[in-house]
Structure 1
């Protein structure tokens, strides 16, 4: 069984993001970049399926400029077998990404596609669902457990009311939630081996997709500063402030 995993290059989650002075975009100068954390969970799940003998090959795909090859190589160091870069300048919107991934799915014909449920930069939570609609494949979103059973995959989903398990007929699409697994660290030998693993570069034209934007970015600005909290001497003072200042009681 071939597993296709999509990964995205984002600002490292430990870095405090800053807007440019003119508000045109996020300032990425000298900023540490990394694999989107949800995508890292997707890679880990695919590698675990391979280690169990369920998957025979793990293919990683990323959409972006040449710099995203760094994140593909990281995924290869974590255990993926080969990588694909779809060369697109700038940050493609979810619909374009879904169309490009559809082209890769048609080209590679994987039995299982695993994506992070969302990226920590846009937080759109759209690409997996759009890909499911475009390909007609069944989808299990917000997965906290994935079990492949013959020609089906059982996906336990995290929903507002608790947990829901859905059975999908392969080929299928799964988007990962935080509690699915704990990603491993890449060892130095595997990092060295990853440099020799194959990495193909495709263009949108190779996949029959025209890249165009349907979204206009108006302005990027930091959230408003929150005022500092205060300490109260006792419960009576707390109740007084809640009643007379905050007016919540």
Structure 2
């Protein structure tokens, strides 16, 4: 597969991931939405991101359905793709994350315009810890991503086509339910950094800053977790 093809499929898949995932959060945060105030908010978020993974990875199947730089790093470490293609994957995923977030904003434009306090809408686009402590926050992201990547690396036969991506989606949902509470479980640098960049640029009235002081945590944590998971999977193979 050419680098152009890789870029297109990973861009489209990650855009859909962030459109659905960010949209699930927007649906419960913004007023004048049928989902807002209906209860079960965390359930909606976890299911939304899980189904977003399923849809995005299925779309990106021709390029391997990575839609996550942490996955691409682990695949490169395992010899599943040339290191030279890693920047192509990451660039496509980051731009896909930005695009998906912008599409989410467009879908909810009227809700943003009529929302009383857009200072609280940053969480629609990117993560933040409930209790800030960079050391423990990055530990949480490392652990969550380790679970995801270790499962992917040790079940390669199951990650193939729509049924395989459904299994990955269930793993992502499990991480959300079991480990997502402290930091919002980015477990994907592109899913956090891309929408964070989009949020900083979008014309949302009364929005907060993009919290750049925290932005490195959901990037570094997942990459470290992926490297550790890939190393262990290779060591015990």
TM-score of the pair, normalised by structure 1: 0.28
Between Structure 1 and Structure 2, the one with more strand by share is 1
Larger radius of gyration: 1
